[in-house]
Structure 1
Amino acid sequence: MSAQSHDDTAALTLTAVPLSPEAFAPFGDVIESQGPSNPINQGKGWRYPDLARVDVASGDGRTAISRVACVPEATPVRLRLMERHPLGSQAFIPVDGQRYIVVVAPAGEPPGPDALRAFVASGDQGINYHRGVWHHPMIALDNACDFLEVHRAGPGNNCDEVEIGARIAVRLPDSQEGPL
């Protein structure tokens, strides 16, 4: 599937940086198969334990697993809105190895342009937004991208959305433009 065309004029352009656990820590967890592991299944597999804090118990919530499909977008991508989930965390794990862009801002009041941070994730990295962290909807690159989503289901409003008033776009570093 080819990327969609768009209006790439923007008052502010963010450059996405590579996703790393240290850089993403203020917003959530990076889910990847690195670091300590434990052998399982009679030595035929490995478990990388406790990669993210799933936080869904608020207000009688329960853990739900969904599948999300995203169409690719051409860069620079014009940002549309930010959302947050005040009652629980939300994780996205790519299932088809496609890279994607993550745009976040700290929990709290709706973010201004200076609070936004952009990351480019490889197809083997997932992310877990901590409760209340502002984020843009998923941005697939290159090809369609499917994710497993681990999130809170249950009573109460668990999604606040705010439109981005300024014209803001996110781009990849020159070295990462085009398919990896």
Structure 2
Amino acid sequence: MTPIVLPVQPLTPSAFAPFGEVLALEGADSFPINGGRTQRFHALGRVRCLGRDANVVLSIFRGQPLVPPVLDLMERHPLGSQAFMPFSGSAYWVIVAPPGVFDPDAIQAFLARGDQGVNYFAGTWHAQLLPCDPDADFLVVDRDGAGQNCDIVRLKPPRTWC
């Protein structure tokens, strides 16, 4: 089955607003702390964690590029947000669709710079981690706890973006 080619747009806060938050220092509120030796870039995103017996967890994901770049599934986490912040400084792909009933015609592709993170809103459909470079490390903030928090859909036909 021939993949559908997704147009790719730059990751900007306004373009990504329906899906989550862009985590970046550019344009962020900041103020000095620790006697002026540290600049705090405050509240870049909000962690959402729904349900009882749930916690916010910090993890490191080490990702590999998808070769060839053909996406055949997407997932969502209905009980909490999920944030990705790259450590390596390399770019990565962000492929999303709005929360709710999955609409394959609403899939959008973004190219994130290595200094930008994303915080997917609870329920936002998204691709798995798609780094451009091998062994790319990401800080991941998400929910851990009771309840079914990962739904998967298969894409027919699959999608490609580059």
Question: Which range, TM-score by smaller chain?
Answer: over 0.9
> 2:158 is matched with which residue: 136, 154, 167?
167
Superposed displacement of residue 73, structure 1? 3.3
Counterpart CA distance in 1 for 2:12 and 2:54 is 29
Report the CA distance between 1:167 and its aligned residue.
2.7
What's the counterpart of residue 108 of structure 1? 100
Over aligned residue pairs, what C-alpha RMSD do you find? 1.4
Q: Tell me what 1:119 maps to.
A: 110
Residue identity over aligned pairs, in percent, reads 44
| CA-CA distance at 1:10 after TM superposition | 3.3
Give the distance between the partners of 1:10 and 1:123, measured in 2 at CA: 30
Match for residue 142 of structure 2 among 140, 151, 157? 151
**TM-score of the pair, normalised by structure 1:** 0.84
CA apart distance, 1:98: 1.2
Structure 1 Cα separation of the partners of residues 77 and 124 of structure 2: 7
The 5 A counterparts of 1:1-180 are 10-35=2-27, 36-74=29-67, 77-112=69-104, 114-171=105-162
Alpha carbons 1:34, 1:48 under 8 Å: kept:
no
TM-superposition CA deviations, 1:87-117 (whole Å, max 9, x none):
00000010111110000000011221x1100
Give the alignment's TM-score, normalised by structure 2: 0.93
Counterpart amino acid of residue 62 in structure 1 = N
